């Protein structure tokens, strides 16, 4: 049995199937962990969702910002933009089943035995793991509730950028959404910058990649994440494994086999 990690599939169905074959993923023995953004930008989100649903017993998923956006669009609280390529999904006969499955997925996964954390965007240097996990569980509960559209309308695209234990609960969850699904850069005090998306090679102090700010709570863990395609080719500390290589932008879809830390890559198919 092997564990494979992948992120930011973004509706690239053809590339996903080719990559799973190339990496020798065995549906009967192996497990696929997905660090978010299953959908959007690529043209085949429906096919990706249907395939992953068909193997749902062999996968573990954390949600990314584009996954939350799909749920929001489906529930009518966000506009469906042309660049998301959601039309096929929204009109599909099984879209309701797929959305209900998607909103039942995790926001953060912590495997204490294997010392692995999987998250779409990152971990806040302002939070210890217990608080981070409590926050993620509350977000997951809200997504599963009948009031999930109102919850998403309240928390998406907000600007809360620092943690305060005195915040109202909804503001803590807004902060959590920003960290788990949107974080890239922080200021030295841990406050989030939610606008800069460029490579660290051209961004200067005081902005720092979240993973370069000391966080004693995660130092014993390997961190699997995506979300940040401009990180490709950037040196990151060895405990971090960024997997977004920009397939939907013409780059590559990448997968990491955990046992031997071997990467496999599949280029975008035009």
Q: What is the pLDDT along the chain (270 residues), one digit of tens a residue?
A: 999 999 999 999 999 999 999 999 999 999 999 999 999 999 999 999 999 999 999 999 999 999 999 999 999 999 999 999 999 999 999 999 999 999 999 999 999 999 999 999 999 999 999 999 999 999 999 999 999 999 999 999 899 999 999 999 999 999 999 999 999 999 999 999 999 999 999 999 999 999 999 999 999 999 999 999 999 888 899 999 999 999 999 999 999 999 999 999 999 997
CA-closest candidate to residue 123, choices 26, 217, 255: 217
The residue ranges of every structural domain in the chain are: 3-267
Domain 3-267 CATH class label:
alpha beta
pTM confidence score:
0.97
Give the separation between CA 77 and CA 152, rounded to whole angstroms.
8
CA-closest candidate to residue 62, choices 190, 253, 215, 223: 223
pLDDT on residue 183: 98
CA angle 200, 201, 202 (to 5 degrees): 90
Give the separation between CA 168 and CA 19, rounded to whole angstroms.
44
pLDDT on residue 157: 87
DSSP state of 37: -
Cα-based distances in Å from 62 to 44, 81, 103, 106: 20, 23, 10, 5
Phi, psi of 214 (to 5 degrees): -55, 130
Give the separation between CA 149 and CA 144, rounded to whole angstroms.
10
pLDDT on residue 233: 80
């Amino acid at each position: 049995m092997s564990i494979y990690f992948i992120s930011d599939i973004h509706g690239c169905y053809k590339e996903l199937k080719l990559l799973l074959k190339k990496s020798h993923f065995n549906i009967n023995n192996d497990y696929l962990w997905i660090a978010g953004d299953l959908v959007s930008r690529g043209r085949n989100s429906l096919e990706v969702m249907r395939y992953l649903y068909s193997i749902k017993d062999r996968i573990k998923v954390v949600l990314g910002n584009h996954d939350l956006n799909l749920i929001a669009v489906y529930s009518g609280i966000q506009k469906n933009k042309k660049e998301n390529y959601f039309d096929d999904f929204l009109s599909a006969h099984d879209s309701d089943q797929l959305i209900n499955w998607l909103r039942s997925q995790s926001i953060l996964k912590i495997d204490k035995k294997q010392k692995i954390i999987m998250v779409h965007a990152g971990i806040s240097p302002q939070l210890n793991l217990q608080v981070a996990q409590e926050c993620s569980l509350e977000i997951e509960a809200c997504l599963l509730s009948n009031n999930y559209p109102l919850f998403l309308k309240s928390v998406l695209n907000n600007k809360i950028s620092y943690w305060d234990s005195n915040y109202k609960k909804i503001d803590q969850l807004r902060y959590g959404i920003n960290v788990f699904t949107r974080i890239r850069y922080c200021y030295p005090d841990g406050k989030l910058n939610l606008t800069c998306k460029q490579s660290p090679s051209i961004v200067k102090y005081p902005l720092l990649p979240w993973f370069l700010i000391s966080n004693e709570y995660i130092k014993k863990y390997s961190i699997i994440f995506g979300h940040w395609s401009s990180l490709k080719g950037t040196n990151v500390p060895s405990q971090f494994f960024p997997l977004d290589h920009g397939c939907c932008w013409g780059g590559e879809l990448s997968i990491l086999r955990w046992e031997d830390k071997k990467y496999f890559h599949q280029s975008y198919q035009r």
